[in-house]
Amino acid sequence: MTLKLEKKIMITGGSGFIGSNLIRYLIKNTNHVLLNYDKLSYSSNNVSLSEFEGNKKYHFICGDILNSSLFSEALENFKPNIIMNLAAETHVDRSIEDPYIFVQSNIVGTSIILERSLDYWNKLSYPEKEIFRFHHISTDEVFGSLNFNSFFNENSNYNPSSPYSASKAAADHLVKAWYKTYGLPILLTNCSNNYGPFQFPEKLIPLIIMNALNEKELQIYGDGQQERDWLFVDDHAKALHQVISHGKIGETYNIGGNNVKTNLEVVSEICNNLDEIYKNKPTHINKYSDLIKFVADRPGHDMRYAIDATKIKNELNWQPQETFETGIKKTILWYLDNIEWCKVILSKGDYNGERLGLIKK
């Protein structure tokens, strides 16, 4: 059965980076009614979705997935046909400093919403029970580090390196267990590194953009030769829509951008674009690449992630539309036009651009 008619979709973590872009895409391109369930942590905010306040297709609940009773209440009141779980702690460096919150949010939180979703699903009658899906959105980091010129596929072994990726791997296994043991109709996706508008500036691309604009060092871990597959967030949103619309129950789909770049290449591309398009560059800066500084590598830093997205292309007719060159230019232009958004989200005071994730001796 495919998702064709209007559905009610509950999105956990909908005020975060990927979640807010997904909501924006679904509101503008479908007739689905959405409930955004988000606790509004340091990296999420309602400003990203303020344009939809009052929109009959959009509803919001400020809630934590660790709050079992509130989540159940939201299920009973909204009565979703689909749950898309994007609620998670996501930053590797933060997980190194404080793994406990990652275990709580990503593992315990996922188990709670699986339990409550199973209870909800078991009470449904036909046809709602047959239509229901639980879609868990995960990362390629659960597979660990690749050899050069190799790629992850849906059968890759799990081999996480950081507390973050370990917590996401555990969540993936829980989701699969709820399908195999209890029959909960699940879908699972593992994506490569996302980038684009509304990303909290602790992640590499927005951090480099903001630090360059503020004339700060552009720090690159190690020698910068770590490789990542970069996925423009709008392409990811379209892929997620295809999965809930046409994906097969119990299946995993890898979502990649077909844009493998070293971290040094990414930072250099940002610098070159800023040299070309930013009109307010200080006169004492000749090239933004002059701000690059190589620093000690991250503990347990994986060398390569890359996605083989053949399955989702062949089965669900999806492939990325943005090249890295087109996507990074759109991203830089968005940040240049939305400096105030960055100021608002950073005004919470939890993060000021400092390096995280150093193991304290």
Question: Tell me: the pLDDT tens digits for 150-167?
Answer: 999 999 999 999 999 999
What DSSP element (H or E) covers 61?
A: strand 58-62
The three-state (H, E, C) secondary structure of 16-41, written as one string: CHHHHHHHHHHHHHCCCEEEEEECCC
* Pair 90, 64: CB distance under 8 Å: no
Q: Is the pLDDT of residue 5 over 80?
A: no
Over residues 67-112, the pLDDT tens digits come to 999 999 999 999 999 999 999 999 899 999 999 999 999 999 999 9
Quote the pLDDT of residue 352.
66
Q: pLDDT tens-digit profile of 235-286? A: 999 999 999 999 999 999 999 999 999 999 999 999 999 999 998 888 888 9
| Sheet arrangement for strand 227-232 | 193-195, 227-232, 260-262
Strands 227-232 and 260-262: antiparallel
Active site residues: 140-141, 164
Residue 47, pLDDT above cutoff 50: yes
Q: What are phi and psi of 127, to 5 degrees?
A: -90, -5
What φ, ψ does residue 246 adopt, rounded to 5°? -135, 0
Residue that wins the pLDDT comparison between 345 and 8: 8
Distance between CA atoms of residues 119 and 188, nearest Å: 20
**Cβ burial, residue 172 (10 Å; 0-12/13-18/19+):** buried
pTM of the model: 0.95
> What domains are defined for the chain?
8-198+230-258+302-322 (3.40.50.720)
Q: What is the pLDDT of residues 278-326, one digit of tens each?
A: 988 888 889 999 999 999 998 989 999 999 999 999 999 999 999 999 9
- CB count in 10 Å sphere of residue 272: 14
2 beta partners:
none
Q: Does the pLDDT value for residue 119 go beyond 90? A: yes
Tokens linked to 208: 């480099």
